[in-house]
Structure 1
């Protein structure tokens, strides 16, 4: 490709082409999830080349499993994933708003508005929206607030049983725990085919006891958690071939057995290990009637430690004196294996209160979707406790569209057209919700805007059953503030990033990738 002179018509055309290409890719991504939003949203079927099928209504799952190569599309998908990681819900709203901002921005550029002015207006508008949403937040001070169940029902896609499980768990854990920075309510959820719905104070370890000869249940449990393998220290093969090396090997084996005997002497009756357990240790612990669970995940090990009050120890830590090892032990009322679900439960730990939500599913095919639904509900409930809530159903976005429109005269020049992009994008969630419900989106959005204005009420939206204007707060249709704030902020950021791209250039391969691509690119013209 020959370099073109700056300012030429061809240069302008190519920059618009890059913008249009990116906008089309973003539109394709948006189209993949927009049909799922709202109470009348439908499911999407994802099929791979082996015929494996996932049927889901979850926006981030759809985006994550899509086969996507376009870089702008990947930017939007990564934004949705970031939304999921940060607040656990709102990915579809983020995607729809980002797609609308890009589409509206491209339309303005095609009309002759400079991209810089469009971006200026979008940034200004998004900042005003974030401030407005924060000002309208309603706080939750206790876990018995009935609004939490409404939030769980909406995020849980009207699954009553899942909403009840999540709310019950939130009540067991309490406001203080829900407000902890590192605690995520969604992480205490597990779904199992054939299980009964259940919430209990305790921790589930997704492993079984090491052998059938070990006890199935232990009461008054004394736990030792080894963040390592329960095996002797290793000797390199070369060292073993020498007399000194072999002698050292025998010493390490004897030392290891003595260390395992310390576990028995301390009265430990439950041992959980991050990795494998040596056969010598297995024999000693089995003879002592100790329940051993090996290959426990790091996440489960940490949760058991928190719940039981134990401290994780390395295998080298077993060299310490018994009185020092005892400081690492935790306690619990009961540890037992659920034979049907093939998992171990730790109940009544003397450390931090920990709850587990067990979501039952009829078949293996629906386990994943039930778990995703429960995690969305849990994330939304926790977000509402942390940051409050605002009217949902697209009503708060329409209210913000009305509010942002008042600032249009504050902007100089063409930046006002960028503000128009924000105004129109804010109406898109409600537009898509009512369209999915079978109503005319233009008519219903305008009806909501007009009624909000005449009644001076920011919580008015559209009832998806009747198509009539309704107060979302009175109906219990609300959204957590952190979810809404992150969705608007993320949508604005990714839209600006995409609109700023006016040239697409293929990057040369570097390192190992260069050799792989060399043969394939040998016939291509140089840039």
Structure 2
């Protein structure tokens, strides 16, 4: 109930309170399930549906959870009628496979980044926040279609939240750190960039030194080599040094005097972004000792590196490598800030999924249409597996039913009316206008969902539901 009541345009928020009276207010399914206290082991498996959906797609967690719960309910009903559970499970697999096939057939593709549906999808995913919608779409255009389609790239990782700032897009890479000290330059233009994976410190003497004098001599020699390396970096006119670990105090002093901006303790994922954006090669510190030519070959380039403003972080803009963008969202309180960050990430994930796989009608219309097709498919299935297919057909009606109930209308009455009109008009996009309670075309209303989000939700829900139905006995393990 805590999750299902958040679904749809009329869905409400859930307040979670702990023993210290700390409060979280959200309508995000995975957030609710992660924070609420859950004891039953089967319920914990349902929670894993939301987690899997969030990790893979970044959106659609409530739908995935609702479908998993519905599939378990409908599967249990068939088992209670005397259908062997193995037959129900096999039928559920067949029904979901057929539904996924039909869903992909009916997807509407998106070929251009200026397609108006992208903005509509972002607008819906971020709960109709116009500022965040515009920022997400602007970032899409900065990054380009190729970047959005790149395997392993998650658009949602470009979202950063800061208190009391304006929502906007910063082209380039926004680091989570500021420069080492205020004496370093706040702004550098046409900058050569050095990226180091580890700490910028002198190499330590080996442990097997024969005596204290030899060890001290080796340590002194290591420092001399280190100082020479620092001079090489200065002579190569590196203006920005981004370091994954700590920076030696002498190096900090030398670079400050030379007017070089240094950022330390930068996370590895940000180092990779800087390297890709500036076309730098990430180096280990010990490689710096090889030759100035090797250092120079690893340097990247950007038009501007800036620290300060309303966001006290270093911004790297106009790199000669791959394009990057950071979506900045802000709010006045921590609670609202966390929610804005979440909905911005949802919008980014939804837009990327739509670019990759197209979109389908939302509001539960697609699932209800699939329910009709699955019910017809049931007639082609021989044996008792057809009862498992029936469970899928019934479960697919649950999303629209919950959306309608959350809007304050009678689900049974509305669902039957929509089903009749979908069949009569051969339409998969008819649903319920939650403001007026009338039948309306979801596509014409702009209510759509990314295909990949819907498909992954159904697939994951089916996997977890059949895993739960397969459980015969729950036994307490010894500690």
TM-score (norm 2): 0.97
Q: Equivalent residues in 2 for 1:390-401 (5 A)?
A: 390-401=360-371
Q: Distance in 2 between matches of 1:378 and 1:443?
A: 35
- Of 295-304 and 423-432, more deviation after overlay is shown by 295-304
Aligned residue among 349, 353, 378 for 1:379:
349
Indicate the larger mover: 270-279 or 249-258.
Answer: 249-258
Instruction: Deviation per CA, 1:453-504: give whole Å up to 9, x if none.
Output: 1121111000010010000111111110100110111111100010000012
> Are positions 1:148 and 2:118 aligned together?
yes
Is 1:103–2:73 an aligned residue pair? yes
Q: CA deviation at 1:143?
A: 0.5
Question: Structure 1 pair 235/72, CA: closer, same or farther in 2 (3 Å)?
Answer: farther
The secondary structure found in structure 2 opposite 1:336 is: strand
Deviations 1:168-197, CA, capped at 9 Å, x for gaps: 211222222211112221111111111111
Q: 1:71 aligns with which of 38, 41, 50?
A: 41
Kept in 2: contact 1:192–1:359 (CA 8 A)? yes
Q: 2:98 aligns to what?
A: 128
Correspondence for 2:191: 221
Q: Does the CA contact (< 8 Å) of 1:240 and 1:246 recur in 2? A: no
In structure 1, the partner of 2:418 is 448
Task: Map 1:172-187 onto structure 2 (within 5 A).
Answer: 172-187=142-157
CA offsets per residue over residues 205-224 of structure 1, 9 Å max, x none? 11111011111111111110
* Equivalent residue, structure 1, for 2:28: 58
**Shift of the alpha carbon at 1:441?**
1.0
Alignment partner of 2:238: what SS? coil
Corresponding residue to 1:439 among 396, 404, 409: 409
Look up the SS of the partner of 1:461 in the other structure: strand
Q: Which residue of 2 aligns with 1:32?
A: 2
Deviates more, 1:323-332 or 1:239-248: 239-248
What is the alpha-carbon distance in structure 2 between the residues aligned to residue 173 and residue 265 of structure 1? Answer: 34
1:91-142, Cα deviation, whole Å (9 max, x unpaired): 1100000000001111221221110111121111001100000000111000
Structure 2 unmatched ranges of 5 or more: none
- 1:309-324 paired onto structure 2 within 5 Å: 309-324=279-294
| Aligned residue number for residue 325 of structure 1 | 295
Q: CA RMSD in A?
A: 1.5
- Deviation at 1:32? 2.5
Find the aligned partners of 1:204 and 1:457 in 2 and give their Cα distance.
46
2:236 aligns to what?
A: 266
CA shift at 1:50, angstroms? 2.8
| 1:206-217 matched pairs, under 5 angstroms | 206-217=176-187
Which stretch shows the higher mean deviation, 243-252 or 95-104? Answer: 243-252
Give the Cα separation in 2 of the matches to 1:36 and 1:297: 35
Say which is worse superposed, 394-403 or 300-309, in terms of deviation.
Answer: 300-309
Displacement of 1:75 in angstroms is: 1.9
Give the structure 2 partner of residue 419 of structure 1: 389
Residues in 2 aligned to 1:354 and 1:262: alpha-carbon distance in whole angstroms:
30
**How many residues in Structure 1 have an aligned counterpart in Structure 2?**
479
Q: Secondary structure at the match of 2:449?
A: strand
Partners of 2:49 and 2:68 within 8 A in 1:
no
Q: 1:238 to 1:53 in 2, by over 3 A?
A: farther
Q: Does the Cα contact within 8 Å between 1:239 and 1:246 map onto a contact in 2?
A: no
> 2: CA distance between counterparts of 1:75 and 1:398?
25
Pick one of 314, 322, 331 that aligns with 1:344: 314
What residue number does 1:285 align with? Answer: 255
Match of 1:192 among 162, 166, 180: 162
Q: How does the TM-score come out when normalised to structure 1?
A: 0.88
Deviation of 1:237 (Å): 7.4
2:311 is paired with a residue whose SS is coil
- Structure 1: state its 5+ residue gaps: 1-30, 509-516, 518-527
Query: Distance in 2 between the 1:108 and 1:200 partners?
Result: 54
Shift of 1:238: 8.2
Contact 1:335 1:347 in 2 (8 A): yes
Task: Please say if residues 240 and 249 of structure 1, whose CA atoms lie closer than 8 Å, have aligned partners that are also in contact.
Answer: no
Change (3 A) 1:222 1:240: farther
Partner residue, 1:85? 55
**Cα distance in 2 between the residues matched to 1:438 and 1:422:** 26
- Aligned mates of 2:42, 2:205 — CA distance in 1: 52
Q: Give the whole-Å Cα distance in 2 for the aligned partners of 1:240 and 1:285.
A: 35
Provide the C-alpha distance between the structure 2 equivalents of 1:63 and 1:202, rounded to a whole number of angstroms. 35
> What's the counterpart of residue 477 of structure 1?
447
